[in-house]
């Protein structure tokens, strides 16, 4: 913040760590291979396509580790072959598991090359018997020679299309393909900070740029008059609208498109906001958006960032445009990795 952002007066807080920084992840996508005639599940050796068998990942939730091993053993027991990248033959490519920690609901996604799975009824029956908290078993078919994990076609083999989870009081429906934070415990810590920095009284109009499936928008909608979320991926906006409905939140609206275009157009049509929240990808905010913010002059900007470098760069631009960074609070969302998330409060000088 000092070197890149040249920030003088901002308070940079120590990182908020996680009380129990292990077994926090709620999603795994594990490649499947074969060794000595048996299936193995694990990680790729760095810069290779060789799978190193891994029975436990200490950052995955125990229910996720268990699910991957159980499903792999079921396929192995029925001698259903793993996908082989070289020959483009075999069946099972990846096992994906998602877990709702607050609801104890498990989803298993079988990513296959083929549209049919041998002994599929037996596979399903055994998964249900051995993983009693499973609520959804889904097959995703990926016929392509690619290292992209999920293919285009998804079908429910058993149970529901979605599982549910909560961040704070907000309930989320999670499908095989939808984006959902991998560490909901720390996400709650981060969002509570964002909410604190927004200082909402119930009278404010808030814009949530880069809103994804609306997690921050729905969190803030509980305390704001109106929230407008903007996101470039249409499917994410569909999820956001569905999640608003699921929670009976009627004061959040969502628009699809690049934040820099949509919000700039809104502003040109005479619309403004009291608080603007941004949560951009690693490359940071588009410069057009930052200049629109500077012209629009919301009293407060809350910047959520997964890349401190681009955060510092963007804070400099806002400072040069009449804003002041008050606080930067890093939150460890991904313990045991080098990543850190930050939330920052920026206020309009003389605002
Ligand atoms: C770090 S994520 C934030 C997601 C969301 N706030 C959440 O916590 O679920 C960044 C999001 O910005 C979206 N995005 C990327 N470029 C964008 C753009 N130019 N305009 C709007 N959204 C964009 C991505 O699709 C992604 O959903």
Identify the bridge partners of residue 223 per DSSP, sorted by sequence position. none
- For the stretch 248-267, pLDDT in tens is 999 999 999 999 999 999 99
Each residue's pLDDT tens digit, 80-134: 999 999 999 999 999 999 999 999 999 999 999 999 999 999 999 999 999 999 9
Q: 259 alpha carbon to ligand 1 midpoint, in Å? A: 9
Instruction: Among 187, 276, 280, name the best residue to mutate to test ligand 1's pocket (greatest count of ligand atoms within 8 A of Cβ).
Output: 280
The encoded tokens of residue 275 equal: 């608080």
Nearest-5° Cα angle at 61, 160 to 110? 40
pLDDT of residue 37: 87
pLDDT value of position 122? 98
**DSSP, res 84:** B
Closest atom of ligand 1 relative to the 217 alpha carbon: 6
DSSP secondary structure, 43-58, as one string:
EEPTTSSPEEE-S--T
Burial 211-248 (b: 16+ CB within 10 A, else e): bbbbbbbbbbbbebebbbbbbbeeebbebbbbbbeebe
pLDDT of residue 318: 98
Contacts of 265 (CB under 8 A, 6+ apart): none
Residue nearest (by alpha carbon) to ligand 1 atom 13: 210
| Cβ–Cβ < 8 Å for 309, 282 | no
CATH class held by domain 11-19+183-348: alpha beta
Ligand 1: which of 207, 239, 259, 281 to mutate, most ligand atoms within 8 Å of CB?
281
Residue-level pLDDT at 178: 85
- Residue 303: pLDDT band (50, 70, 90) is very high
Q: State residue 179's pLDDT score.
A: 86
Question: Longest C-alpha distance within the chain, in Å?
Answer: 71
Class of domain 27-174: mainly beta
Active site residue 342: no
Radius of gyration of the chain (CA): 22
Cβ < 6 Å from ligand 1: which residues? 210-213, 215-216, 230-233, 236, 258-260, 279-281, 286, 306
Cβ–Cβ under 8 Å, residues 123 and 117 = yes
Q: Give the number of other Cβ atoms within 10 Å of residue 254's Cβ.
A: 22
Domain range annotation of the chain: 11-19+183-348, 27-174
Q: How many CB atoms lie within 10 A of CB 126?
A: 18
Q: Which of 211, 285, 306, 342 is catalytic?
A: 306
């Amino acid at each position: 913040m000092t070197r890149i952002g040249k920030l003088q007066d901002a308070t940079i807080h120590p990182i908020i760590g996680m009380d129990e920084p292990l077994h926090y992840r709620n999603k795994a996508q594990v490649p499947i291979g074969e060794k000595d005639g048996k299936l193995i599940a694990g990680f790729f050796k760095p810069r290779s396509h060789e799978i190193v068998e891994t029975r436990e990942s200490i950052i995955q939730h125990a229910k996720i580790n268990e699910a991957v091993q159980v499903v792999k053993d079921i396929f192995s027991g029925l001698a259903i072959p793993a996908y082989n990248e070289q020959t483009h033959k075999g069946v099972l490519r990846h096992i994906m598991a998602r877990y709702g920690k607050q609801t104890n609901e498990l989803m298993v996604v079988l990513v296959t090359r083929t549209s049919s799975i041998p002994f599929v009824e037996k596979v399903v029956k055994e998964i249900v018997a051995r993983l009693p908290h499973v609520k959804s078993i889904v097959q995703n078919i990926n016929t392509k020679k690619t290292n992209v994990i999920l293919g285009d076609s998804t079908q429910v083999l058993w149970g529901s299309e979605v599982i549910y989870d909560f961040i704070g009081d907000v309930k989320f429906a999670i499908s095989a393909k939808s984006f959902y934070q991998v560490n909901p415990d720390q996400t709650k810590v981060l969002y509570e900070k964002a909410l604190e920095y927004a200082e909402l009284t119930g009278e404010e109009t808030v814009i949530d740029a880069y809103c994804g499936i609306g997690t921050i928008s729905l969190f803030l909608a509980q305390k704001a008059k109106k929230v407008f979320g903007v996101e470039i991926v249409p499917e994410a906006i569909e999820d956001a609208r569905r999640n608003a409905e699921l929670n009976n939140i009627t004061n959040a609206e969502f628009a699809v498109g690049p934040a820099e275009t949509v919000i700039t157009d809104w502003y040109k049509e005479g619309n403004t906001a009291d608080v603007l929240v941004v949560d951009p990808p690693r490359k940071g905010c588009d410069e057009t958006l930052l200049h629109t913010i500077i012209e629009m002059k919301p009293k407060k900007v809350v910047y959520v960032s997964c890349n401190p470098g681009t955060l510092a760069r963007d804070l400099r631009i806002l400072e040069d445009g009449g804003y002041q960074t008050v606080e930067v609070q890093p939150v460890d969302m991904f313990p045991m990795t080098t990543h850190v998330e930050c939330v920052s409060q920026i206020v309009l000088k003389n605002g």
